[in-house]
Chain A
């Protein structure tokens, strides 16, 4: 069995506060590295965040959140699609972005 990947994840400010972490966290993610496997690892490492990125019941992405990496918007990729090698290797962070809105 291969070693888990060490993936860097950038969190929006409110989730950093909830999880009591800094801007970026490092997660151990089993191969293959996908959106779903990263979010599963995030939930496991930081249970305070469960239900905040994906709906608790449906496991669907919350509508005002998007996923960026390697200067690309990966939001609408299938959750089980393999992400770029740069994410799996930790060279590029996987970014969870909150939609900009006023008020």
Chain B
């Protein structure tokens, strides 16, 4: 019988939950990295035992952790505790936590600058890893979306990281700016049919696409409208909160923007709004049913100044028509006096026959629906604030 493993990153540690395919009884393993912020954990699609975690702290910076046994034990890639930093031959070992931005080959100076809150230009400064996206084919290849926004890749299991600097180097960098949460690259989508195609999204710059494996990039924000920038339809500057794609239809993208739920049917070349009858179209998460590419899920949040669910009711909204027509899913969710948020990386789906939907809240609950959203129940309800939720469907 199939199993599922839920990887939960929180403000104060990581938790791994496992259940059989019924998704009724759960075993909790954790906290791992207790006291640290775990922005994201994700497993390799080709090697379910291989799980990567982003561990960070305002005191001690960024740590990359790796598990080769499904989250039971962890180590810094290539760097077991107590191992000397140089080999007996004098060679340096690894820099698994080192994210060095590329510099100009001609001058050695920063490749570009970005806009700061006061309107001045600043060079990029690494702060943390927001999102880890393992390759679809190789468990040793993994992408990292970081703050300040950039995309890094490791091809040796997380031991060494190199920037895919074409993203910052294509010219629009000086127009990028941090949102209130920082200037982060938070979404990475890989196309299983086209290994060269990568989508990413940045708050607050917008969405970008590469068709050559990350060497060159183009902004894909036509059709977005954002009132918080001087030109609401500018090519750059949109606060995209999340993008999602069904693997069987790589040309169709869904987006939860700061405000507005959007859809593209041409690989991001153009977007149209599909907020429809949502009670509010502000939010962070968006995801797609594992077997129904037109069935999508969001969790509306009241507003950009009130980051909690609308009307004190925790409601997942589902559209079976790829947007515009939405239904509230509430069975099993609190419908009174609820004021939690659901952050951008905190929703995931499993791929069991009856698709499971999962999300975590800033109140420390992780909910599951084993019937595609009809009914919900908490897996756990007293964790630290949840930053991310990922699911692995296991044989």
Contact: A14 with B61, CB < 8 Å?
A: no
Question: Which chain B residues lie closer than 8 Å to A47 at the CB level?
Answer: 79, 83-85, 93
Contact: B81 with A57, CB < 8 Å?
A: no
B 79-107 to A, binary, CB cutoff 8 A, 1 in contact else 0: 11111111000000101011110000000
Residue B36 at the A interface, CB < 8 A? yes
Question: Which chain B residues lie closer than 8 Å to A45 at the CB level?
Answer: 84
A47 to B84, CA, bound (A): 6
| Interface band, chain A | 20 to 34
Question: Which chain A residues lie closer than 8 Å to B261 at the CB level?
Answer: none
A15 to B82, CA, bound (A): 13
Whose C-beta in chain B lies nearest to the C-beta of A58?
A: B125
A60 to B376, CA, bound (A): 48
Residue A43 at the B interface, CB < 8 A? yes
Contact: B59 with A99, CB < 8 Å?
A: yes
A14 to B311, CA, bound (A): 40
Contact: A56 with B61, CB < 8 Å?
A: yes
A46 to B81, CA, bound (A): 7
Question: Which chain A residues lie closer than 8 Å to B57 at the CB level?
Answer: 14
Contact: B100 with A56, CB < 8 Å?
A: yes
A52-B60, A62-B60 are known contacts. Are A20 and B82 too (CB-CB below 8 A)?
yes
Contact: A14 with B36, CB < 8 Å?
A: yes
Contact: A14 with B59, CB < 8 Å?
A: yes
CB < 8 Å: which of B59, B79, B97, B99 contacts A62? Answer: B59
B 316-330 to A, binary, CB cutoff 8 A, 1 in contact else 0: 000000000000000
Report the minimum CB–CB distance from B11 to chain A (whole Å). Answer: 8
Residue B54 at the A interface, CB < 8 A? no
Contact: A64 with B58, CB < 8 Å?
A: yes
Chain B residues 99 to 132 lying within 8 A of chain A, measured CB to CB, are 99-100, 126
Contact: B59 with A18, CB < 8 Å?
A: no
Contact: A19 with B81, CB < 8 Å?
A: yes
Contact: B98 with A57, CB < 8 Å?
A: yes
Residue B63 at the A interface, CB < 8 A? yes
A14-B60, A44-B86, A55-B61 are known contacts. Are A50 and B97 too (CB-CB below 8 A)?
yes
Question: Which chain A residues lie closer than 8 Å to B83 at the CB level?
Answer: 47
A43 to B92, CA, bound (A): 12
A44 to B97, CA, bound (A): 15
Question: Which chain A residues lie closer than 8 Å to B35 at the CB level?
Answer: 13-14
Whose C-beta in chain B lies nearest to the C-beta of A52?
A: B60
Question: Which chain A residues lie closer than 8 Å to B95 at the CB level?
Answer: 50, 56
Report the minimum CB–CB distance from A93 to chain B (whole Å). Answer: 19
Chain A residues 51 to 95 lying within 8 A of chain B, measured CB to CB, are 51-53, 55-57, 62, 64-65
Most buried by A among B81, B95, B100, B126: B81
Q: Which residues of B approach A to under 8 Å, CB–CB?
A: 34-36, 57-63, 76, 79-86, 93, 95, 97-100, 126
Q: 5 A-B contacts, Cβ less than 8 Å apart?
A: A48-B79, A50-B85, A51-B61, A56-B95, A57-B98
